[in-house]
Amino acid sequence: MTTVPSASQWGSPIASKRALLVHGGNSSSHTFHRVASMLAAKGGSSSLERPGVDFRVQTLADDLLPYLQAAEYDIVIGHSIGGLVVLSLLKYLPRTRPVSVVLIDTSVELSAEQMAVVRKPKVPNDVRARPNPTVEDYVASNPLWTREDAIWRSLGIQIGRATNYDDHMDGNMPWSFSHLFADRPAAAKLTILIADPQSQANGALKLEAVAKFKEVRVVIVPNVSHWIHHEFPEVIVEEALRNIGEERGDGP
């Protein structure tokens, strides 16, 4: 089986600012390579990868808790189910020190009926419809991706199991995580980036689930898929740094 490091780091380990990046399912830490590289100029950034068989969100959060206990982070970012892991870690963030939290296209609420729709493969290179899509498959179907994006995405599929997608779903039923917003410390600024609802079938569901939380900044990213960090990484970086600038008055 192909393996990659359980954690990857960009930038200097003694930088003045730090960012923690948590990837989604069927991925590896290097799927954040463009976002991490952009943030490296501002501070060291790490992202986590956890192969395994227990995909319950709380289990994943418990595995990452030592990172928050060992260092102070200025930015915490999570993609897809990684965003749910970040939500589960909100209660461990500092009460008074500002932290910028960004969730990338994360579904926080899904009913059983909505879950049945989401489970259906929607694109030709979906691993559920076509096991082990190649780098060329990803390049052909994702014109905004770099070849490196496609390579790391393909690797993420290879290091996982064919049942990973369903394991993530089955291990987290009922799919209800919006109550975790209440754990956000007052000093933490939370932004949710949602891929263009017109570009994906469940985009409207993601927007509906978070629109009622007035303390959360919701940003719709047009003309983008679920993989915002591959297609428009600069949007993620801008939002992450925006929150720090608002709190500290020093801007990016």
Backbone angles phi, psi at 33, to 5 degrees: -60, -35
- Condensed to tens digits (0 to 9), the pLDDT of residues 47-77 reads 665 555 678 999 999 999 999 998 899 999 9
- Is the predicted pLDDT of residue 29 greater than 50, yes or no? yes
Residue 5 clears pLDDT 60, i.e. is over it: no
CB 180 within 8 A of CB 87: yes
pLDDT given at position 132 = 74
State yes or no: pLDDT of 36 exceeds 60: yes
- Per the CB < 8 A criterion, the answer to whether 138 and 153 are in contact is yes
Q: Average pLDDT in the 202-212 region? A: 85
> Tokens in use for 180?
């975790």
Summary count for the chain: helices (H), strands (E): 10, 9
Query: What is the arithmetic mean of pLDDT over 118-139?
Result: 70
Under DSSP, the state recorded for 194 is E
For residues 25 and 153, is the Cβ–Cβ distance under 8 A? Answer: no
Instruction: Say if CB 87 and CB 103 are below 8 A apart.
Output: yes
Q: Which residue has the tokens 């629109």?
A: 211
Q: Report which DSSP code applies to 249.
A: S
Coil, helix or strand at residue 242: helix
Percent of the chain with pLDDT over 90: 52
Sort 14 into a burial class: Cβ within 10 Å, 0-12 / 13-18 / 19+: exposed
Question: How confident is the model over 88-100, as a mean pLDDT?
Answer: 96
Higher pLDDT, 204 or 229: 229
Per the prediction, the chain carries an average pLDDT of 84
Cα 36 from Cα 3, distance rounded (Å)? 20
Q: Is the pLDDT of residue 251 over 50?
A: no
Cβ proximity of 155 and 16 under 8 Å = no
Q: Which two tokens stand for residue 56?
A: 């319950």
ω into residue 133 within 30 of 0, thus cis? no
Are the beta carbons of 76 and 101 closer than 8 angstroms? yes
CB count, 10 Å around CB of 49? Answer: 21
Read off the pLDDT of residues 162-206 as tens digits, 9 standing for 90 and up.
667 777 788 899 999 999 999 999 999 999 999 988 777 677 888
